[in-house]
Chains A and B, each alone.
Chain A
Amino acid sequence: MRAAVITFPGSNCDRDMAVAIEQVSGKAPIRVWHGDADLPDGLDFIALPGGFSYGDYLRSGAMAANSPIMRSVVAAAGRGVPVLGVCNGFQVLTEAGLLPGALMRNAGQTFVCRTVALSVENGESLFTRGYGAGASIRIPVAHHDGNFFADEATLDRLEGEGRVAFRYGEAVNGSQRDIAGVLNEAGNVLGMMPHPERAIEDAQGGSDGRAMFESIFANLAVA
């Protein structure tokens, strides 16, 4: 299993993501810098971490989406490589056009930093198989721009195609239809505002994020 974690200037959850991947898979991921043009060969999984890439200049994720490495990430996603974007990583994925919609300023205007309830809406994706549909989990969020917006037609399509992976179980940031995470059409790209890498073991206050990484890596072992 070869995983990579991309670091942009201003990423601050890249180490947490790398530690989570190593703890669950037993193998440390390759750390890739945003200015690299190419990804390492033979990757099985790519993670875009949280943080404030490029200081959130222009729009959250907008600058990172146009960095050299993202062209390679878009190409890898097109080949079916699983890509997970958490928080700022989710913002980067929408800005790069790999996922629909946009993440706007939280409706309450404040930075939200707490553990929230999520319901697993699609329990069959390669990221969520370990939970099963309808599972209720608790994962930390920490963001200012997590208010998911898409037009009604796009939202209907996402719901109809089972591409809403997670929904908030409580009011968090004003997201349309309480959407916390969405999948791309092929199901190999997931963007989510909550941080599963911050919920890997009980010492972190909960371990509900662990099953996501187990799902991803179990799938790779079979493949």
Chain B
Amino acid sequence: MKVRIHVSLKPGVLDPQGRAVHHALDGLGFSGVEDVRIGRLVELEVADTTTDEALAEMCEKLLANTVIENYRIEKVAA
């Protein structure tokens, strides 16, 4: 089973990288970009028997830092 873990900064947490990319997009002439936030995508290939609880634990313990980040678990149809 393929699982995608989407890790994103929590709302309100300043994202200096996103801000720099926002400025770069402005510089390229793309108007109307109101905000840029940069996150991380982790793709896992796991046994089909892997439980939702185990996936959540992987996120809580390692894949995301829940002080500053949210995560979303997406199971991808084979």
Contacts and interface: CB of A to CB of B under 8 A. Distances in A.
Nearest to B63: A58
A159 B13 CA distance: 20
B14 A150 contact: no
A62 B65 contact: yes
Interface in B27-72: 61-63, 65, 67-68
Interface residues of B, number: 11
Interface string B1-42: 000000000000110110010000000000000000000000
A108 interface: yes
Interface stretch (A40-48, A97-105, A189-197): A97-105
B16 A101 contact: no
Contacts of B62: 58, 62, 66
B63 A104 contact: no
**In the complex, the 3 A-B pairs of residues with the closest C-beta atoms, listed nearest first:** A102-B67, A102-B68, A109-B16
Interface of B: 13-14, 16-17, 20, 61-63, 65, 67-68
Given A59-B65, A149-B13, A174-B14, 12 more contacts: A62-B62, A66-B62, A102-B67, A104-B16, A104-B68, A105-B17, A107-B14, A108-B16, A109-B17, A149-B14, A150-B67, A174-B16
